[in-house]
Amino acid sequence: AIGRGSFTTISILAGCPVAFKHVLVLQRAPELKAEVLCSFDAYLPYHFCNTKAFFSIPRPLAYYNPDVDPTFVSPICMPPGRSSTRTRLPLLCQLYFCKIIATSGRPNKFFNSANFPLDVARYTQVLSTVTSTTLPSVKKIATGMGEMLGRLHWWAGYDGHDIEFVMGGASFSGIEVYVINFNQLHSWLREKEDIKQLVDAFFINDPYYPRPRAIDPIYRHFRTGYINAYPQQSKEAVDIAEAFLLALEAEQAQR
């Protein structure tokens, strides 16, 4: 396993560049199927949000439920002749750019060596220890978070509820940043009357996003990425983007 949450476990097979998502409770399998169907649809996140984005969206390949016949599964989902040997790599790092992670105390049950949290301080420390340029800067990650959320909001028409921003392996080598978990997305009508729904989803996703404080330089990068994800030629679209960000900042000021 390379990651585990309250809903699913993510695992891989050695020598196979495909990840498998398993529900922890069989009764929740329909939720996973709905997520896959959502991703297969031509109007959903993978197709609209992945093109030239800083954060990548893993491509959904297939859904399989062994207790239901028939189900559908892609023949390339389980390549023949691959080893089933367990592996500990690649690791997933949660990009917690809002949270300050304590260095002591009782560990969270979801945190382990294969599902490791990185706040800004930890990530900066990692950057200081590597000599290559394979890791993106804090600025690029924050801007990329804003860009991806903006794409999900405007181009895909979803609120981004419960998505996760992570860093992990890119195929058999390299590092990549991803956005994952689309099983709790809700649609919105791209109108100012629905902005509260987006604000609620944003704060539910805490601690990934930088805190929406205008004086925070990391949040300003996020803000820029979000605004630029909207069609700049549309005043209506940009006005909605600005209204969302102002609503975020107002909500943060009250907390």
**One pLDDT digit (tens) per residue for the chain, 255 residues:** 666 777 788 777 666 677 788 888 888 888 888 777 766 653 455 566 666 788 877 777 777 776 664 444 433 333 333 343 444 444 678 899 987 776 655 555 444 555 678 899 989 988 888 766 678 899 999 999 999 999 999 988 999 998 989 887 776 667 888 888 888 889 999 999 999 999 999 998 878 999 999 999 999 999 999 999 999 999 999 999 999 999 999 999 999
- Run of H or E including 124: helix 120-129
Alpha helices in 162-216 (DSSP H): 195-204
What CA–CA distance (Å, rounded) separates 154 from 68?
36
Cβ atoms 175, 208 nearer than 8 A = no
Residue 187 DSSP symbol: B
Contacts of 233 (CB under 8 A, 6+ apart): none
What CA–CA distance (Å, rounded) separates 200 from 188?
13
What CA–CA distance (Å, rounded) separates 155 from 122?
33
What pLDDT is stored for residue 78 in this prediction? 36
The pTM is what?
Answer: 0.77
What is the SS3 assignment for 3? strand
φ, ψ (nearest 5 deg) of residue 62: -165, 165
Residue 164 tokens, joined: 């996760």
Contacts of 99 (CB under 8 A, 6+ apart): 117, 119, 206, 207
Cα-Cα end-to-end distance for the chain: 36
User: 118: which strand partners?
Assistant: 95
Distances (CA, A) of 110 to 32, 219, 225, 231: 20, 26, 29, 38
What pLDDT is stored for residue 43 in this prediction? 42
What pLDDT is stored for residue 50 in this prediction? 63
What is the SS3 assignment for 208? coil
What CA–CA distance (Å, rounded) separates 13 from 220?
40
- Run of H or E including 156: none
What CA–CA distance (Å, rounded) separates 138 from 148?
15
What pLDDT is stored for residue 172 in this prediction? 60
| Half-sphere exposure of residue 228: CA atoms within 13 angstroms, side-chain side | 14
